[in-house]
Amino acid sequence: MKKFEQLPLFAIVFTVLFKLLFLLTHHIQEDAFITWRVAQNLLDYGVIGFNGDTKISASTTHLYVFVSWFFNLLFGKENFIYPLLIFNSVLFTIGSYFLSKLLLKNPIQQAIFIFLFGVLPPSIKISILGMEYGILFFLYMSLLYFGFHQRKNWALIVFPILILFCRLDTVIFLGIVFLIDVIWHRKINWVYVLGGILANSVLLSFNYFYFNEFVNNTIVAKQLTYEGHFTAAQNWEYFLQNYGNFWGMLKLPGDFNLFTVIVLLFELIAFIIVIKVKENRNYFLWIIFIFGWSKQMIFISQKSLFDWYYWIPQILLFVPILVFILEINKKKYLWLSLLIVFYILPMLAFQTVHSIATGNGEWNYRRNIGLFLNEYEKDKNQFIFLEPAGYVPYFSQLKTIDEVGLVDKELQTEIKKDRKNYKLNVAKNRKPKYILAYKNLFEAENSEFYKSHYQLIKEFRIKNSLSSEYPILEKMYHLKPSGTDYNLYERIKIQEPKIELDSANKFSN
């Protein structure tokens, strides 16, 4: 097997090059542009914020803000995106290499694992959608590989700090690793405990001394805006409508998704079969499987719909299937071929169509709204009130009030004062020059106010962005239309009544 030892490294290169094809789809997640706007705000104003010199933790991830800032500095604002996406893809694939080393001994199996693992839909999204999860996955696997496989004490200190500084919710991963390690070895790893203490100290100190808060504003804003009380029946209905996002690789229409149930059962069965063979690698299988389930259940309980929360758990829960198939002794290549033909290739085809259609809806449609505003409004100190705060604020360069309060804390005050009418109160009190709305404000509640203070300047309709000179692409756009209809309103300049000079003198006398 020595002659195949370098094969996993070649698999890294091949997998990265293969996934770079997805950059052509322009499928970039909306929230990535929030982080990149924060990074550019740091570059322009020296402040971690979103609107000028106002400090606010508008991005969920501090570490990725600094990485994005560095790439902006290195490549410039116009050219940093694709180098950063490639960097994310490379780091994710290196992370999958570390995972393969933890679970498989045969370099041929490791190489196959790296590629098949890398082309699963969540893996593609982690790599090319611009979010921080490529870096995060690399850090997770680096901690396991260097800290708990090679027993490097420095890794037990450094990686927990970087992981928690990347995202606050990574405390779930760090906690699961600690619990499994204590149960497995029946003793406490005090170096890792020190790493955890330092990680919490670094993050909380940074939040407190820089932002004067302990918990990131993004978390506070989402909890405030999306809070809701559900009955048991409503909770069950909610779960049925969304569980495909939690455990599945894709969300199919309808409340009941049999495909997701089958995959979930296969994952459980494969896990049980694999861990029956007593090997040291079971330690890592328990970590990733318990973490995958824990992360899913915690976020499900919090009604977290954002699908990127589930990317890493989705692929980690699928790992036992890959290990099981690769280690079957009888008819191995038949089972592997069946997996590729009936699962990997359909999932890859689905993600390709999804990325092409969504890339059109985001890059060719929503980005153009921002570009229109960038050309239309030259004064970049003007405010726009909208949701979400990704593409349009980034490409328009306008200051922003978002409907959730991620990038503007004053909005949270309005929600607390009057949740029902907070959008109207923002329009009245903050007087944003532009409002980008999903609905026709002139036909909605409080229409009289909007009619007297705003004018409709442009309608953006997703149906107008579903055409292409290439028939195949046009079919994909129509098969999965991505985007939302918008109306763009501009505030009317209301002339204040003038007091004649003679009258004014009378009052002064």
**From first to last of its 509 residues, what are the pLDDT tens digits of the chain?**
677 889 999 999 999 999 999 999 999 999 999 999 999 999 999 999 999 999 999 999 999 999 999 999 999 999 999 999 999 999 999 999 999 999 999 999 999 999 999 999 999 999 999 999 999 999 999 999 999 999 999 999 999 999 999 999 999 999 999 999 999 999 999 999 999 999 999 999 999 999 999 999 988 888 887 766 667 776 777 666 666 666 666 665 555 567 777 888 899 999 999 999 888 999 999 999 999 999 988 888 777 777 888 899 999 999 999 999 999 888 888 999 999 999 999 999 989 999 999 999 999 999 999 999 999 999 999 999 999 999 999 999 999 999 999 999 999 999 999 988 999 999 999 999 999 999 999 998 899 999 999 999 999 999 999 988 889 999 999 887 888 899 999 999 866 555 454 444 444 44
Q: How many CA atoms lie within 13 A of 136 on its CB side?
A: 27
**In terms of Cα–Cα distance, which of 438, 479, 485 is closest to 462?**
485
For 509, other C-beta atoms within 10 Å of its C-beta total 5
Instruction: Tell me the CA distances in angstroms from 61 to 162, 167, 407, one per residue in order.
Output: 11, 5, 14
Question: CA-to-CA distance for 267 and 25, rounded, in angstroms?
Answer: 30
What pLDDT shows up at residue 13?
97
- This prediction has a pTM of 0.93
- The answer to whether the peptide bond before residue 160 is cis (omega within 30 degrees of 0) is no
Rounded Cα gap, residues 207 and 51, in angstroms: 18
Residue with the two structure tokens 């933790």? 57
Q: Give pLDDT, residue 110.
A: 97
Q: Are 8 and 110 in contact (CB under 8 A)?
A: yes
> 370-394 burial by CB neighbour count: b if 16+ within 10 A, else e?
bebbbeebeeeebbbbbbbbbbbbb
pLDDT given at position 253? 54
Residue 331 Rama label (left phi>0; alpha psi -120 to 50; beta): left
Q: What is the pLDDT of residue 431?
A: 95
Specify whether the CB–CB gap between 313 and 122 falls below 8 A. Answer: no
Give the pLDDT score at 299.
85
Distance CA 137, CA 312 (A): 7
